[in-house]
């Protein structure tokens, strides 16, 4: 099993410099660990791609909200356009 919170947190660390001056990260993780069956490397690459795409969709400043529940994970990007 793969710990989804750990994978997402690791991706945020990797993308930290790209995100820090442009994006506010809001995490709303389920209180219990979200463990899923899957290939950890592929899941890691998938979330890196999702977060990278979200960052690129933000023009100047914005918020990336990450919400997990024991049955799903939802990403939401909001941008502030000037």
* Residue partners of 40: CB distance under 8 A and separation at least 6: 2, 7
Helix (H, G, I), strand (E, B) or coil at 9: helix
pLDDT at 82: 35
Place of tokens 């890691």: 44
- 40 CB neighbour count, 10 Å cutoff: 14
pLDDT band at 69 (very low <50, low <70, confident <90, very high): confident
pLDDT tens, 8-59?
A: 999 999 998 888 888 999 999 988 888 888 899 999 999 999 999 999 998 8
Signed CA dihedral, 7, 9, 13, 18: sign only: positive
């Amino acid at each position: 099993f793969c710990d989804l919170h750990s994978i997402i947190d690791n991706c945020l660390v990797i993308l930290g410099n790209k995100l820090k001056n442009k994006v506010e990260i809001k995490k709303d993780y389920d209180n219990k660990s979200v463990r899923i069956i899957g290939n950890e490397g592929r899941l890691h690459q998938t979330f890196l791609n999702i977060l990278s795409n979200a960052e690129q969709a933000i023009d100047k400043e914005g918020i990336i909200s990450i919400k997990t529940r024991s049955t799903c994970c939802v990403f939401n990007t909001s941008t502030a356009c000037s």
